[in-house]
Amino acid sequence: MHNAAFEALGLDYCYIPFSVHPDLLSAAIEGIRALNLLGVNITVPHKERVMPMLDKINGEASFIGAVNTIVSSDGQLTGYNTDGRGFMQSLSESGINVRERNVLIVGAGGAARAIGYYLAQEVKALYIYGRTRERAERLVQDLKKVAVNVSTLQDISPADRFHMIINATPLGLRDDDPLPLDTGLLHREQMVCDLIYRDTRFLREASKRGCATLNGLGMLLWQGVFAFELWTGRRPDVEIMRKALADTIS
C-alpha cells in the first residue's frame, strides 16, 4: 500500500521488508542511519526492544511502551506509535461511536496498550481482561494516568454487559486457535472487534450471535497512512492505499 501511494504522488521511494534477527536489531537500527533511509516500520518482536536504541521517543509511543514507526532526520531517529490512532480512525470511518460506552479489551499486551491509550480517554468505562493478571493490572495502572475509568476484569463471564468487546490477543491468527472468550456470552446489541486484519473465527461466531463486527483491516490501513505522513510530510491517497491493501490480502 505504501508503494502504491508513493507512485501516485510521484515520490521516488520504495517500501520493502527486512527480516531482522533479534540479536542483530541494534545493527539494523544503525543501518537506518548508514543507508540514509527515510524511515521504517517496526513489527513484532522488535516494537519494545527497539526503544532504547532510538534518539527520541514521542510522548504517545513512550506511554504505550512500543514503537511501530521510526522517522530518520539528519541522523536522528525518532520513534512513534500509530497503531492506536489507526484503530480509532477505523472506528470513526465505520460510524462507530464509543462515547458513553462500556468497553472490554481482551489482552494486555502492546496492542491493548496502543488502543487503550485512546479508548480510556473516550469511553464511559474501560475494562482489561488479561491471561496474566499482573500484566493486566500494570496496564490499568498506566492507563489511569490518562483516565480514571479503567479497571481490570477478573472474570470474563459477564461479557454480556459490555457495549463493545475487542480482541487484542494473537488468538485467531490460525483458524484452530481457541476463541478469546465464549461467544455464547454475546448478544445482538454488542459490537465485537478483532485487531487481526481478517475475519477470524471469533468474528464469525460473534456474527452468528447477531453482533456487529469489525476486523483490524481498517486499523492496518490507517496506521500506515499516519506512518506515511510522518515519513514524507505528505497526505497519501487513502483510497489507493486501501485498494492496494485489499488486493494484497485477498
Strand order, beta sheet including 212-214: 150-152, 125-129, 102-106, 164-167, 191-194, 212-214
Q: Does residue 145 have an active-site annotation?
A: no
Which residue in 47, 124, 144, 208 is the catalytic one? 47
Q: Cell 479508548 appears where? A: 119
Give the integer Cα–Cα distance in Å for 113 and 143.
8
- Classify residue 43 by burial, with Cβ atoms within 10 Å: 0-12, 13-18, 19+: exposed
The answer to whether residues 81 and 226 touch, using CB atoms and an 8 Å cutoff, is no
Q: Which three cell numbers stand for residue 38?
A: 527515510
Catalytic residues: 47
